[in-house]
Chains A and B, each alone.
Chain A
Amino acid sequence: MEIIIYGIINSIILSLMALGFTLVYSIARVPNFAHGALYITTGYITWILLNKLTGFPYPLAIAIAICVTAVIGALIYRFILIRVRGMEISEIIATYAIGLAILEGLRWGGLRGGTFTLPPFISGSVQLFGVSVDYQRLLIVGIGIVTFACLYLFTHFNRVGLALRGIAQDERAAMMLGIDSDMTAIVSLAIGSGLAGFAAILLLPLGNIIVEVGYNVLIFAIAVCVIGGLGSWGGTILASFIIGFAQILTEAFLSTHYQMVVALFAIIITLLIKPSGIFGKQKELEERV
């Protein structure tokens, strides 16, 4: 029972981490290697607002932090990526360099040790089928599901959301219909970074804000995306359940150290068997040489 409950929680956590990355990749076709950095940045901004300004309301701090991260994401596209668009090598190097600069800059700026924590929204825990689960984790599951629903509604019943999907499916056809490709890419980066920040706010109360978490988040996000098929949203959620349960199982029967190894093996097996991922049908021909 414990495995099932924590497996579900872990899967939702993973899919929250990966959602922003997959959104950016599916729309702007940019692998956003700065994802983990943006995740940590949000946590750090919230921490600063809460601890340096006394009496700052928690919800407001969260809102400001997420907005700032979204703006950073949009600025990265507007001023840097837009100039190297289409040059794959430069795109990868640029996002990776930005991500590293943010993470190592934060490390240099004093983000070390276990002193940085965010308070949970609601403390305490509850017995669920004989397993004690704290409220924060339950809240993550709830909010996670609501987020998926909102994203689905946004991309299916909203002009901007539909434009994003249009660009993701066929950029040229979408441009012929008057959708601005660069504008949608900026929006997608903003939303993707915002989602990374949102995930950070939800997940960081479970642990410390440290730089290594940024790298871990990036790796998990990438693992989930590759396994689900880069740019496929259904695949992302399914893949996060696969990795989530695999991790919990290895944790139960082996040791926690193997979590990362599980992610890597999952990626390699996927690349060997079905490189386009579980749901990545449309790109299958393009990716195999």
Chain B
Amino acid sequence: METMRKERIDRGVRVRASGLYAISSWREMLYLMGPPLALIIGVILLPVILELAPYWKRVINIMCVYALLALSFDFLANYVGLVCLGGAFFVGVGGYLSAIFNVYLHFPVYLSIPLATICGAFICTFLLMPCLPLRGVYFAIVTLMYPLLATRVIEALDILGGTNGITGLDSLPNEYVEHYAIILMTLFFLYAMRRFVNQDVGLVIRGVKDNDQAVKASGISVTKMKAFAVCIAAFMGCFGGAYMSHMYMWSGLSMFALDFSIIPMASVVIGGGGTLLGAIIGSFILVPLSEVLRNFGTFRIVIYCALLTGFIVFKSEGIMVYAMRKYHQFERWVKV
């Protein structure tokens, strides 16, 4: 029997579109610009399209919050090499801070969200500082503990509203501001991060993951780089939290819930780790799914975990890498 093998070849249009001459033809330009434009325009038009289904309009906001969290997880895990098992901690810190600013100190919304984001990022970085000079599982362990502990401490000391949470936050001015604040921030962070990881600083940060000895030998402090990266990731998480507390006009213990840790993780693995865009696509798939499965309660977490483990074991490249391959290349069987 003659043996066959699968051959993968770049599509002609990809090769043609790789040089400057791409701008001389609409087809090549569409090939290059089509997918990103479709994503951007699609996401921006989403609130308008979903006028038809008002129930799902709320989901857009939550979807984008999760997308931000997934982006921060993807950045930390696949570019810095730190596995953050407690994305919920970032959300909780951001949410509670903006509640404090808004309710206790009477700052308006447009001041409390940015302030909470920046302060939250610094607080999270400071609290995670002890485990940053170390390699290995310590970061995962400490981030796993913080959200669980934060709930216990708030419950036990009965501070910050105790189990009831802080109520009475100002809402965002109107529905469209609410949608577009988060959608534009998500798109901004997506492209900012994609650019960032290819800058000089980004290269050093990737060096921390791949070869920290080399980074150290170049006279750059690994700990400082890691702290910087954690600060950026926490920034995204805290923004999500601060936004969400204003969206619900409430900040409570469920800000530290497991969902905020596990769904971003699952969306990164499903979407394709290390692509950044994959993280967003993953959460755009998973969050509506979770909305459909609302009746199942905590069984949803079981589903995510099963999906997560399945993808890690059998399809670790994720949707995004798979789709990119199909888009750029074609496959055929050839004789050996």
Contacts and interface: CB of A to CB of B under 8 A. Distances in A.
B138 A275 contact: yes
Given A80-B313, A84-B312, A260 B141 contact: no
A31 B141 CA distance: 9
A229 to B, nearest CB: 12
A92 B77 CA distance: 11
Describe B's contact surface by its main secondary structure: helix
Given A89-B83, A267-B142, A289 B309 contact: no
Contacts, number: 137
Contacts of B216: 289
A98 B144 contact: no
Interface string A85-100: 0001110111011101
A261 B155 CA distance: 12
Interface string B12-53: 000000000000000000000000000000000000000000
Contacts of A289: 133-135, 212-213, 216, 222-223
A161 B81 CA distance: 33
A226 B142 CA distance: 10
Contacts of B223: 289
Given A105-B302, A226-B138, A271-B131, A98 B83 contact: no
A107 interface: yes
B176 interface: no
Nearest to B157: A257
Nearest to B76: A89
Contact of B316 (A90, A97, A108): A90
Nearest to A96: B85
Interface in A253-289: 255, 257-258, 260-261, 263-264, 267-268, 271-272, 275, 286-289
A215 B77 CA distance: 23
Given A93-B265, A222-B145, A80 B133 contact: no
Given A260-B149, A288-B134, A289-B133, 20 more contacts: A33-B85, A80-B309, A80-B312, A88-B136, A97-B266, A101-B305, A101-B306, A104-B258, A219-B148, A226-B138, A257-B153, A260-B153, A264-B145, A264-B146, A271-B130, A271-B134, A275-B134, A287-B135, A289-B213, A289-B222
